Amino acid sequence: MPKVSVIIPVYNAEKYLHACLDSVVNQTLTDIQIICVDDGSSDRSPQILDEYAAKDNRFKIIHQQNTGIAGARNAAYPWIKGEYTLFADNDDTIEPDLCEKTVAVADAEQADMTYFFVDRGRHWCNIRRRGSQIEKVFGIHTLTENDYSILLNYRWIWSKLWRSCFLLDNDIRCPAGQYCEDTFMQWKALIHNPQSVLLPKVMYHFRINPLSASSEPSKKYEMGLPATYELIRKMLRETGNYRDQWKRLFLNQKLEDIRTVYTILPKYRRKEYLRMVKEQFGHDEQEYLSQNKKLKRRVKVFYSALQGSRLAAAEHSVLVALRKADTVLRMIRNKFRMIFNKGNFQKTPAENEL
């Protein structure tokens, strides 16, 4: 049995696919299985996959009609043979020792989920901040509600190594036909109380590719977010977890995420998006907004505007404008840092120790 099964959904990725596959093939831990699912590509991706498989018997190639990234990932599940499972997207790359180091940590700690840091290019500063938060979570023994909130935000499916039996026995997979699949999977995983650890080192490199299903702020993703949260609510109810801590976490995350997506939407999409949000804004959301005094003001203002308050609508417009201005300033600042520091950002204290 291989130590790690690496799952890579592939769709029209010929430009970056070689880099992705090479980073997996050249892992220092060689005892791996590489499952690639060609999701109906119309470029040279299928031929590239077959060429790699002809040279390396660790590959398992699946060719199928297009089902979307969730369907492509799910198609790999019956073929998983590894003790652990790692997900990677077809235009990203991983560090040569990702499998070796995460397996060593997972084995030592008997972990179901082994988190690591992700390099998102120009978003490096965000990683450092979020990395600092997640380090604190794993520095304690009993997780608080705020700790779970941080973990729910660290939702990327490829930001951790999964123990395969935990993944398969609990049927933790992407919801078929849905987008925002990372969000759903992270929720379903955490309610099963996994043993989780952190390797505080950047091991995964995310490529911002406008043609990628995983990076494009697409209409399907935006419009799929409200529906995904309804699936999560249904799952929590069916498992008896839609109460107390998990209910509060659900409402907080849903209200935050939906408001955040609205702020990055093009204006011509906002009307349709708000219609969907209103349809799924019920008694629980209203009660949570009215009773939670710690909820961020920008979130309360957004939903007050949603319910018809003109004053709140005006305030929210100002808040969105200020946020956009702050984002532009941070991008300019980071650009100058890259120029003057030649891209060598200061590492986190945890990374300096490794």
Between CA 319 and CA 187 the distance in angstroms is 29
| Average of per-residue pLDDT across 108-134 | 67
**pLDDT greater at residue 29 or residue 325:** 29
**Measuring CA to CA, how many Å separate 291 from each of 65, 256, 284?**
48, 16, 11
For residue 85, pLDDT beyond 80: yes
Residues 6+ apart with CB under 8 A from 146: none
Share of the chain residues as helix, strand and coil, in percent rounded to the nearest 5? 55, 15, 30
For residue 307, pLDDT beyond 70: no
Between CA 173 and CA 157 the distance in angstroms is 10
For residue 216, pLDDT beyond 50: no
User: CA angle, corner 10, sides to 225 and 221, nearest 5?
Assistant: 10
Which residues in 179-251 belong to E strands, given as ranges?
196-205
This model's pTM is above 0.85: no
Between CA 345 and CA 316 the distance in angstroms is 34
For residue 310, pLDDT beyond 70: no
Phi, psi angle pair for 247, to nearest 5° = -65, -45
Q: Which of 114, 82, 285, 80 is nearest to 189 (CA)?
A: 114
**Measuring CA to CA, how many Å separate 136 from each of 115, 143, 179?**
13, 10, 30
Distance of CA 54 to the CA centre of its chain: 32
**Mean pLDDT value across the chain:** 81
Least confident piece of the model among 11-25, 109-123, 130-144, 239-253: 130-144
The answer to whether the CB of 121 falls within 8 A of the CB of 209 is no
| Domains of the chain, CATH where assigned | 4-205 (3.90.550.10), 219-333 (no CATH)
Q: In this prediction, what percent of the chain has a pLDDT beyond 90? A: 44
Q: Which of 98, 85, 76 is nearest to 2 (CA)?
A: 85
Q: Residue 315: which H helix or E strand, with range?
A: helix 310-341
Residue owning tokens 């909130």: 149
User: CA angle, corner 199, sides to 194 and 201, nearest 5?
Assistant: 145
